[in-house]
Copies of this chain bind each other. A is one copy, B any other.
Amino acid sequence: MSAAETEVGPDSGPGLRERKKQRTRDALVRAALTLFTSNGYEHTTVDEIAEAVEVSQRTFFRYFAGKEDAAFAVHRIAEAHFIQAVRGRPPHEAPLEALRQAVLEGWHTIHEAVESVVPAELQMRMYHLIESTPTLLAAHMRRSAETEEAVARLIAEREGVDVDRDLRPRVVVALFSGLMRLAERRWGAGSDMSVAAMHELTSTYLDAMGPALAGSWRTERP
């Protein structure tokens, strides 16, 4: 066993079986996203997706928990990358700053990782679709909530506090995530879906936090 591992080289990694599975899975994701974005989520049946890849409907459900699950295959990648980006921030940074930098700097990595599975343009259209499809939007927000919880724990660990006793980790993550969601929504609504555009929106919204919390919006500084 150990002999084979060291001898055959790096490409022996996954066996034939494993590679075939990966190919089927990727094909299903691509077919699903393509059909979703061109015919709409609700009007795409699982049968159609399965047929496009020439597998049985049953097989589709062996790869994905449901239609919805397939729709977020790419988002899962992005989330994992974001978590990694947060984990990689230097410990001296303030929590909010660490989150901010994680998004800003992590974006390029995320973009690349995603593009290796589906073309960027397809993913962009998925963003629009998610925003405009109630079912998908709901799922998206629940997923985000889960990521939030994970990030809160990360921040708590980083700062050496107990996430269940100290309110600050969850609070700062909740505030940050709320703003990111606004930025995301605006980003998806506009036509410029570049990484640069997301950078700018992120900064803009984060910078709007102070003014929004100000006592009164109507009084000018005397």
Where the two chains meet, the residues of A that have a C-beta atom closer than 8 Å to any C-beta of B are 94-97, 134, 137-139, 141-142, 145, 159-161, 167-172, 174-175, 177-179, 181-182, 204-205, 208-209, 211-218
Contact = CB atoms under 8 A, between A and B. Distances in A.
A175 B213 contact: yes
Given A138-B142, A177-B178, A171 B218 contact: no
B145 A218 contact: no
Given A95-B217, A175-B178, A217-B161, A211 B141 contact: no
B212 A167 contact: yes
A208 B171 contact: yes
Contacts of A172: 212-213
Contacts of A211: 168
B179 A174 contact: yes
